[in-house]
Structures are given as C-alpha cells and as structure tokens.
Chain A
Amino acid sequence: MEPQGRTKVVLLACGSFNPITNIHLRMFELARDYLEDTGQYIVVKGIISAVGDGYKKKGLIEASHRVEMAKLAIDTSDWIKVDTWESQQPEWVETAKVIRHHYKELVSEELNIDEVDTVKYTKRRKIEETDSTSEGLFSYPKMRDNVPQLKLLCGADVLESFSVPNLWKPEDIAEIVGRYGLVCITRTGCDAHRFIHQSDVLWKHRKNIHVVREWVTNEISATHVRRALRRGQTVRYLLPDAVLSYIQQHGLYSAESEQKNAEVILAPLQRYTGPSSSS
C-alpha cells in the first residue's frame, strides 16, 4: 500500500490526566498501530489535551501541574504533543468544542505548509474570519480534504459515559462521532460493541468508531495512582520516572488534594441540569 494513498489522522485525547500514567501513553501507541495496520491511515500526530480546572472533578489538581507532568511524560515520544489550550480556559469546555478548536488549528497548520508567506497571511486571516469570527467555537469548521482527519482517542468508559444522563449534549455526541470519529481502546472488546449497539446515534456512525482491543490487561488508573501516592505506597513503573519526581518535588497528591471539589457538582452536570441551565 502506498503511504500517499493513505488518509492522515491526528489523534486527540481529552481527559483529566491527574496524573498522566503509562496507560494513557500506551493508548496512543495502540491506536496508531491499529489505524496504520488497516492500510488506510497514517497517524501523523497525537495531542494530549488536559481538562481545565473548571471541570470541578474531585481531587483534580491545578492544570499547570497536570500539563507539566504530561509534558515530562511525552518527552521521549516523537509524535505525541501536549496542548494547553483546553487547560487554560477559565470555564470547562465541551469536548466537541475542543475538537473544533483543534480542527481549526489543523486547517491553519495546513495553510502554513501550503502557501508562500505573504499569501499565507491573508489566506489565514480570511480563514479565521470566515471560520471563527462569526460564532467562534460555536461554528462548525468546514471539513477539508487536504487536512488530516481528527479523531478522538478514548477508553471504553467514554463510550459508556455517552449514556449517562446530562453528561453529554446529544448533538455533541452526534458531532463527535459523525464529523470526526472515535478510536476507542478497550480491554474486553464486547463492552465497546455493546455500547455502540445500545445507542442509536453511535450505531448510526458505527463505521466512524474504531474499537481497538487491548490484549494486555492493564488497569492502571489515575485514581489508583493517586490513592497509592497519598498512602505513601509505590507507584514506580506505573508512570514515567520524570513524572514521579515532579509529583514528589511538588508534594502533589495528598489526602487534602483529594478533597478538592469534593462537594461540587461536575461542570457538565451543572451546565446541563438545574434551573440555571440556559444554553
């Protein structure tokens, strides 16, 4: 198969990364292997996007630390990058909007490559005006053939979370799986297919959902890592040594930090439920 005949893909992983573990990094490797093995795709980039502090998840430490740890973790990777845009937003940003933002970034990157500098500048201005000035993040970017496809990389738990009431807007789910696509890493295989089967919108876009089987059972969760850390137990080899040193230097995960946002309702639930829901 000719590489030029393949579709370029950028993988985007959104999450807390509180803290990043080897499993998060493994997901990128597994997804790339899977997509490239189909013969249809070439994975050109991976993006880690940490959620902002406005997400209000219990035990979520400051974004600056989570981003710094992610940067340390991807230091040895030549294709995964950390992006700070989402983590710097004052309010929680819906995943669909994060994807739109990154797609627009890809469009302007493509223009940077294609055009001579002077032309590029005006062209880019034009793109930005038409794509974002009118409604900003609320507008759908125009899909372009010469721009890599952007796919959301996630675990099976994200597929499952689509059915949790008030966590996702239905139109956001449709946009994510319909316009972009999902790469879902799962340990058991059957679960992911069941979630797709049980959801009409996922089933409709099933061809846009790649289910990747993780054969090595590996349940390193960030929750487990935080629990071990605040109990003074070892987490070595579950995350990169550089991240572990950073955690120790900054005394990051403790009983106190785990109580952060303890009584607070998760931002998406706050936004989509209750009388204050206006959007």
Chain B
Amino acid sequence: MAARIPLVLLACGSFNPITHQHMRLFELARDHLHQTGRFHVIGGILSPVSDGYGKQGLVLAKHRVAMARLALQSSDWVSVDEWESQQPDWTETVVTMRYHYDRILKRYREGTGKDSGPTANPQPPTSSSPRLKLLCGADFLDSFKVPGLWLDHHVEEVAGRFGLVCVSRGGLDPERAVHESDTLSRHRHNIFLVREWVRNETSATEVRRALRRGLSVKYLLPDSVIEYIHQHDLYTRDSELKYKDALLRPLAKQTEIPVLSLSD
C-alpha cells in the first residue's frame, strides 16, 4: 500500500465572526480524509477574506483575524493566515490557493532537501509531495452556480488542480450541486463530500443578529471570542449596515475581466 499523501486544508471565508461550527468543519474533514486511508492531514489554514470583499456587515479584517486567532488557540493543527485579509482588494479564492500552495511546496522542498541546490527545477509535484484542498460548506458548491460570481477557469483550477472537501449540513444536497455542474462532475474524484450528521446551523449571520439584539451567544463560539467582541463593541446595528448597498466585490471584479480578455 502506498504511503499516505500529506494534505493541507484551506478554509476561505468571512469568519464574521468565527464560530464553533467553522472549527468543526476542519475536524470533520480531517476525520473523513484519514478514513479514506489515502491522506494524512498535516495542517489547516483559516484565511479570512479582506475588507475589500464588501459583504454586508463585514467588520474590519484585523478584528476577524484576532477573533480567529483566539478561537484557534486550543487547536494544535489549524492556524490563521492573514495574507488574504491584508490584500487591499478582494482576492479570488484560486489566487489565495496558489499563494498557499507555493508556500507549502517551498517548505516541503526545504524540509526534504530536494530541489535546494542549483539543479532545482520547477517540477510538478511528485506523488508524495503535499496537496492543498479547499475546505468548504455545502452552500459553497451552490455558489459556483451564481452567475458572475466565479470564472469558469477558476472553478476548473480549484476543483481540478487542487480539489475540494465539502461538509454538508442540514437540507443541502451537495451531490446535486456536483451533478448539475459539468466542471464539478468532471472532477468529482477530487471532491470529497463529508456528511455532518448533526444538524448544526450556527451561522455567523445568526450570531451577529443575536449580538446586536443583546441576546446570548454563549456556547456558539468560544468565550474568548465573545469577550473580544464585547471589548471592541463589534456587532451593532451600525456595523450591520456597513456595505449594505454595495455590490459584492467578486461580482464587480469578475464583470470587468471579460472586457479585458477581449484584448488578449
């Protein structure tokens, strides 16, 4: 039997704020991948989106990063990376993946001593080199269908070159989302669907709603995060109105690109 392939999970999102459910996605995905017998999950990266995303109610990236750090203090394998959150504009998910994959491969090569000399050549990864997969909730697969949100070749690269680990919850039907997309079904061997049997729909939206109404959110997210929110008075009626009528940055940005591509 072949050695297990090392694998890193990357979760991109608003994390506005991070909840127990976000962290549970990592745990469920790792369990599932280990049970396939093919992979060894060596790390998890949580990458909060930058302020340029323009989503309604999105609080400053520095706060979202700080909360994620507090929440993940108790995890020995998932960490927060702020590169994406520090970009002035919204970054396409595929670009964030390329950035992290380069870093992972570089560290791997340094670690194994391979390719460190002048003979190094930018070879495609060998079968034992680490992989990077995008960790997402089932609703994420549905976002591929939203017109103007994704570029086709980006979906192709995310699903084909990297791969997806998708944790389903509640009534969502990830198999259907894969079936209904030609790109996704072509790469279905690279899409891992993980079933969460506990219906657990703690959404950050519900958490923000409760917070601005002065209701308890204890046990939905770590105490340290709740304390941070209260200290910085983060989620209020005013903060929820931020970017209220703004066009989501991907929708604005992607529509610019087809125009540019006419010239090349």
Contacts and interface: CB of A to CB of B under 8 A. Distances in A.
A224 B28 CA distance: 14
Interface in A216-245: 216-221, 224, 233-234, 236-238, 241
Contact of B206 (A30, A215, A221, A237): A215
B200 interface: yes
Contacts of B199: 217-219
Given A22-B220, A217-B199, A234-B30, 14 more contacts: A29-B216, A29-B218, A216-B220, A218-B202, A224-B197, A234-B27, A234-B31, A236-B23, A237-B20, A237-B21, A237-B24, A238-B20, A238-B200, A241-B74
Interface in A69-103: 76-77
Closest 6 CB pairs of A and B: A29-B216, A237-B20, A234-B27, A219-B199, A217-B201, A237-B24
A26 to B, nearest CB: 5
A218 B200 CA distance: 4
B73 to A, nearest CB: 11
Classify the interface of chain B: helix, strand, loop or mixed: mixed
Interface residues of A, number: 24
Contacts of A104: none
A216 B74 contact: no
B170 interface: yes
Nearest to B201: A217
A218 B201 contact: yes
A238 B202 contact: no
B3 interface: no
A22 B27 CA distance: 17
A224 B226 CA distance: 27
Interface in A234-272: 234, 236-238, 241
A32 interface: yes
Contacts of B215: 33
B198 A219 contact: yes
A155 B32 CA distance: 31
Interface residues of B, number: 24
B20 A22 contact: yes
A26 B198 contact: no
Contacts of B218: 25-26, 29, 77
Most B-side CB within 10 Å, residue of A32, A33, A77, A234: A234
B200 A219 contact: yes
B251 to A, nearest CB: 28
Interface in B210-253: 215-216, 218-220, 223
Contacts of A32: 216
A220 B23 CA distance: 15
B91 interface: no
B167 to A, nearest CB: 12
A166 to B, nearest CB: 31
B203 A30 contact: no
Contacts of A217: 170, 199-201
A77 B201 CA distance: 23
A29 B198 contact: no
Interface string B10-47: 00000000001101100110110000000000000000
Nearest to A24: B219
Given A30-B216, A236-B24, A216 B198 contact: no
A216 B216 contact: no
B215 to A, nearest CB: 5
Interface string A16-27: 000000110110
Contacts of B200: 217-220, 238
A217 B196 CA distance: 13
Most B-side CB within 10 Å, residue of A33, A218, A221: A218
